[in-house]
Structure 1
Amino acid sequence: MKHRFIAKRYWKDQSTPMGKVDELAKGFDDVINLSLGDPDLITEEIIINHAFQDARNGHTKYTDFRGDPQLRGEIVKYYKEEYGMDVLDEEVFVTASGCLAMYLALEAILDDGDEVILQAPFFTPYPQQVELARGVPVELATYENEDFQINMQRLEGLINERTKALVINTPSNPTGSCLTLETMKKIAEIAKKHDLIVIADDIYTAFSYQHPFVPIAALDGMKERTIIINSFSKNFTMTGWRIGNIIAPDYIIATIQMINENVVFTAPSISQRAAIHALQNRKKIQPPMIEEYRKRMFYAAERINAIPHMSVIYPPRGTFYLFVNVKETGLNSVDVSDCILKEAHVLTIPGISFGECGEGYIRLACTVGINTLKEAFNRLEKVSIFKK
């Protein structure tokens, strides 16, 4: 919005196809929403009950600036148990959400004009988060015919003297792809060769269906040049609690702490207590949740591949998103998403929202039950652009 009281850097309209489609959806009263990554499941009772008992016991004040010491301890323990990684307490910082974690990391490392390479298709806030930290976002395209793996020649072709960091996301929102261990080892070599920081958006680690998740920070020589971004939102169905964390070298954590004290001071104490109980009870909480999403993903992928002019990689690799190829319709992703909404009353996200290489796709979130997914695909089968 252009106004003399608004900073000029925000005068340019930066609304996205995602936001525009959401506005259109309000015109229908029977919309099936497959657009947002906010699950229909609610946080497990064991987390809720323990967290609110902690609140009654007095955990309602500011915590330590780096986060509740007990939570930091549970995070350290988690990385040792799950990945064999030795993380020090001073390398952990608790944040009020994964989104804030990403911004704090970028703010801590970027000088004006530093370039950040973004694995694309990417989580939509990335470019603006880089720009808020006065950096320059650079899109690194990945493609379906390459299984959405990062191409090393393409990556090195984007690196110059201004390149400071590379953001990777595996399992990926929006593609659902997972970087292979071989790909990550090659990324590690390039990062060391060009002295880059890797920011690893590890938000969907629980949802890796083909192979166990491996953090890039666990690879040889990478812990000292990796910033891990974590969130409890998806791995524990805790989107509304707004709690995440960062794992990074201690000097980066110290800088992040200084910045965060001027932004939100500390993450919510009750949410931090909830995160403690989530980690402590993960072996009970996560398996049924993961299995539910696995069923939804496989069901949805099979239905998609049975509809003319739609296709998706099978079997699903990870997350609870499907990045559906709709190029055979001959329409762009915004028009496809618009047509689906108007004819089927199903809300999806145009692929162009996730970067230029996302054109020709739509993203579906399997955040509703099988019965609702069944109704959604029954409607999609009748949409005019999907007729043979």
Structure 2
Amino acid sequence: MKNKFISKRYWKNNSTPMGQVDELAKNFDDVINLSLGDPDLITHNIIIDNAFKDARQGHTKYTDFRGDPELRCEIAKFYKEEYALDVHDKEIFVTTSGCLAMYLVLEAILDDGDEVILQAPYFTPYYQQVELARGIPVELSTYEEDDFQISFDKLEKLINERTKAIIINSPCNPTGNILSRQTLESIRDIAVKYDLIVISDDIYTSFSFNEPFIPIASIEGMKERTIIINSFSKNFTMTGWRIGNIIAPGYIINVIQQINENLVFTSPSISQRGAIHALRNRKEIQPEIIKEYKDRVFYAADRINRIPNMSVISPKGTFYLFVNIKKTGLSSIEASDAILKEAHVLTIPGIAFGDCGEGYLRLACTVGVEKLKEAFDRIEKMDIFKIKGEHHEQ
């Protein structure tokens, strides 16, 4: 929108298919929402009850600028116990969400015109977050036929004298893919060779279904050149609490603190107390959550692979499925629109996650199996999913 009182940076319409589809959904009163990754489960009572008990005991003020010392201690203990990774207190910063964490990191490390390579398909905000920090986003496409693994050769060809960082996300939103140890070691080799820093978005670490999660910071030679972004939103169903953290070398944390003091000062004290109790009680809280979402994604994947002109690879992590709809002959926006209008099921077009996402839809299994069954019962009645079509290249 052009207006003299709006910065020219925002004159261009940057709305995404994600936002556009959400608006269309308001036209129907029986929509099954498989779009946004906001779980239907509420935060565990252990977290809620203890956080508000702490609030009544006075934890309602600003915390330390880097976060509640008790929370920083629990984060360090978590990485030691789960991944044998030594994290020092000076390397930890508590943030008001994982999204803000990514912006703070990019603002701290980028000079104007620096390039950031994005593992694509990517979490939609990455692209504009890089631009907000005056950087240039560069897509590194990954493909289903390669198990959505990052190619060493393709990555190396994107690097030039302006490349500053690589953003990876594993388990990945939207594909549900997990980067193998071999891939992580290849990324390490590239990062060392070209003196780059890796920003690892570790939002879905608890949802690694087939094998234990491997932090790239635990790969030899990577701790000093890795920035970890984490969040309590998905691992603990705490989306509304808006609490996350950054782990990075101390000199980067110092800059992040300076920036954050001019944005939100400190993260919400009550949310930080909730995060403390989440980590301390994770062995009791998480197994049921993980099992629920694993059951959902495997049920949904089985239903998808029974529907003509739809397919999806076997789930590996997260609660998302990246569904191949190329055989319909429709673009991802057209297919998502048709499913909404005919089946009243809300999905996200794959193009929202980068150019290589075209020909796919992202489904978030954030409703129970019964609702998923109803959604797929509706979808399989649609004409575009009844007859086998010819393969359509996007």
TM-score range, shorter chain: over 0.9
Tell me what 1:380 maps to: 379
Q: How many residues align?
A: 387
Deviation at 1:289, TM superposition (A): 0.5
One-letter identity of the residue aligned with 1:298: F
**How far apart in 2 are the matches of 1:206 and 1:237?**
11
1:80-104 CA-to-partner distances (Å, cap 9, x unmatched) read 0000001000000000000000000
1:54-106 CA-to-partner distances (Å, cap 9, x unmatched) read 00000000000000000000000000000000100000000000000000000
Deviation at 1:383, TM superposition (A): 1.2
**Residue 321 (str. 1) matches residue 320 (str. 2):** yes
**Residue 41 (str. 1) matches residue 41 (str. 2):** yes
**How far apart in 1 are the matches of 2:160 and 2:210?**
35
Tell me what 1:351 maps to: 350
Structure 1: gaps of 5 or more residues: none
**How far apart in 1 are the matches of 2:285 and 2:189?**
36
Q: Alignment partner of 2:195: what SS?
A: coil
**How far apart in 2 are the matches of 1:113 and 1:282?**
41
Tell me what 1:230 maps to: 230
Tell me what 2:142 maps to: 142
Deviation at 1:387, TM superposition (A): 1.2
1:198-244 CA-to-partner distances (Å, cap 9, x unmatched) read 00000000000111001000111101000000000000000000000
Q: Alignment partner of 2:230: what SS?
A: strand
Q: Output the aligned Cα RMSD.
A: 0.4
Superposed counterparts of 1:106-117, under 5 Å: 106-117=106-117
Q: Alignment partner of 2:176: what SS?
A: coil
Tell me what 1:2 maps to: 2
Superposed counterparts of 1:328-347, under 5 Å: 328-347=327-346
Q: Alignment partner of 1:245: what SS?
A: strand
**How far apart in 2 are the matches of 1:122 and 1:301?**
21
Tell me what 1:249 maps to: 249
One-letter identity of the residue aligned with 1:243: I
Tell me what 2:186 maps to: 186
Superposed counterparts of 1:3-152, under 5 Å: 3-152=3-152
Q: Alignment partner of 1:323: what SS?
A: strand
**How far apart in 1 are the matches of 2:42 and 2:288?**
13
**How far apart in 1 are the matches of 2:383 and 2:138?**
37
Deviation at 1:141, TM superposition (A): 0.1
> TM-score normalized by structure 2?
0.98
> TM-score normalized by structure 1?
0.99
**How far apart in 2 are the matches of 1:263 and 1:238?**
22
One-letter identity of the residue aligned with 1:325: N
Tell me what 2:391 maps to: none
Q: Alignment partner of 1:166: what SS?
A: strand
One-letter identity of the residue aligned with 2:376: F
Tell me what 1:202 maps to: 202
Deviation at 1:360, TM superposition (A): 0.1
Structure 2: gaps of 5 or more residues: 388-394
| Residue identity (%) | 75
Tell me what 2:390 maps to: none
**Residue 307 (str. 1) matches residue 293 (str. 2):** no
